[in-house]
Amino acid sequence: MSKIILTGDRPTGRLHIGHYAGSLRRRVELQNSGEYDKTYIMIADAQALTDNADNPEKVRQNIVEVALDYLACGLDPAKATLFIQSQISELCELTFYYMNLVTVSRLQRNPTVKAEIQLRNFEASIPVGFFTYPISQAADITFCKATTVPVGEDQLPMIEQTKEIVHKFNAVYAPDKPVLVDPQALLPEAEACKRLPGTDGKAKMSKSLGNCIYLADSADEIRTKIMGMYTDPLHLQVSDPGHLEGNTVFIYLDAFARREHFERYLPEYADLDELKAHYTRGGLGDVKVKKFLNNVLQEELEPIRNRRTEFAKDIPEIYHILKKGSDAAREVAAQTLSEVKQAMKIDYFEDAEYIRSQSERYAE
């Protein structure tokens, strides 16, 4: 069986280091590993509109921002298909048919959707489109028969929902020869990367919460954000013992610091374990740790920012890449949709055998 990657992002803002740690960095590695037959990367504009219906300009503007972030990180249009969700109308058709396989109470139980409804103050009036976006996400994942979906932890309930739809669809419509493919989520290995917290210490760095370090941030912006970061409120004096739990600076170091960073910027410590031990013992100030984190992140983000600036010099080329990718994705979606419709017995005009059998029934 082919090994196929599908993943994507909502164009609700530029991408941040949470995306990078949670999914982007991994995607680039997988793309370059040569182990996958296809890589599809989707800009989920239709999904972004489910909670930004009154702000289409925001979604439109962020298409190119997200695409620039992709290219800057190393996603390569020669190896990966970069496309825009709304341009693949087949996804709407798939969503419509999958809706029959999911109950309202099942959607209501989705913990990520629950949290997002709260965050957006949607309790009293949830748009139907937003409520059902996990079903449209199943269409996104299944149209290309994706086997592997590299995502952050918040996406696990969506993959679970997709699996249920795949199993139900195959059981009901294609018991002998499955049409849809069961996808697997691929989470980052490091705990810190699964759900990177915001610079304010909130549970998740998220475009919607404004607590992000963006991949496109300038060196100064990065430094200012790091210096203002949430650490340990009990660590008032350098000599006080510090706490690591919920300490965002150390969580970011977990996600990004490598041994060679210590050699370059903080040679008095061999690795993060030694730094942590000193911090919890007392006698290590937050400013020193933040300066180290700043060095680490500047080193990681500078080449990305520079590549972004280069790609931004030819914006029409970015749209050209997305158009080509969308055309290619659409062909694949049309093929899957045709298999789906055949399995569901709604392929009336393609089934000459059936038309003949019906005509015979009437001739009797």
**Residue 323: CB minimum distance to ligand ATP, A:** 21
DSSP structure string for 15-43: -BHHHIIIIIHHHHHHHHHS--SEEEEEE
242 lies in the site for ligand ATP, by CB under 6 A:
no
Pick from 69, 154, 217, 300 the residue near ligand ATP by CB under 6 A: 154
Q: Could you report how far apart the first and last alpha carbons of the chain are, in Å?
A: 45
Pick from 4, 5, 9, 226 the residue near ligand ATP by CB under 6 A: 9
22 lies in the site for ligand ATP, by CB under 6 A:
yes
183 lies in the site for ligand ATP, by CB under 6 A:
no
Which 8-state DSSP code applies to residue 158?
Answer: H
Q: How far is Cα 98 from Cα 102, in angstroms, rounded to an integer?
A: 7
Instruction: State the DSSP H helix or E strand holding residue 81, giving kind and residue range, or none if neither.
Output: strand 81-84
Closest CA relative to residue 143, chosen from 177, 186, 99, 93 = 93
158 lies in the site for ligand ATP, by CB under 6 A:
no
207 lies in the site for ligand ATP, by CB under 6 A:
yes
> With respect to ligand ATP, which residue has the nearer C-beta, 30 or 205?
205
6 lies in the site for ligand ATP, by CB under 6 A:
no
Pick from 14, 19, 25, 38 the residue near ligand ATP by CB under 6 A: 19
Using CB under 6 A as the binding rule, the residues of this chain from 321 to 350 that contact ligand ATP are none
CB-CB contact of 15 with 55 (8 Å):
no
**Residue 159: CB minimum distance to ligand ATP, A:** 10
* SS3 category, 8: strand
| Site of tokens 């341009």 | 87
10 lies in the site for ligand ATP, by CB under 6 A:
yes
206 lies in the site for ligand ATP, by CB under 6 A:
yes
**Residue 363: CB minimum distance to ligand ATP, A:** 57
> With respect to ligand ATP, which residue has the nearer C-beta, 36 or 265?
36
**Residue 117: CB minimum distance to ligand ATP, A:** 12
> With respect to ligand ATP, which residue has the nearer C-beta, 230 or 269?
230
Alpha helical stretches, state H, the chain: 17-19, 25-33, 45-49, 56-73, 90-98, 104-108, 111-119, 128-131, 133-142, 156-173, 191-194, 219-227, 248-256, 259-265, 272-281, 286-311, 315-343, 352-363
Residues whose CB falls within 8 Å of the CB of residue 212, separated by 6 or more in sequence, listed in order = 13, 16, 17, 18, 198, 199, 205, 206
**Residue 283: CB minimum distance to ligand ATP, A:** 31
**Residue 270: CB minimum distance to ligand ATP, A:** 28
Residues within the interface to ligand ATP (CB under 6 A)? 9-10, 12, 18-19, 21-23, 151-152, 154-155, 195-196, 204-208
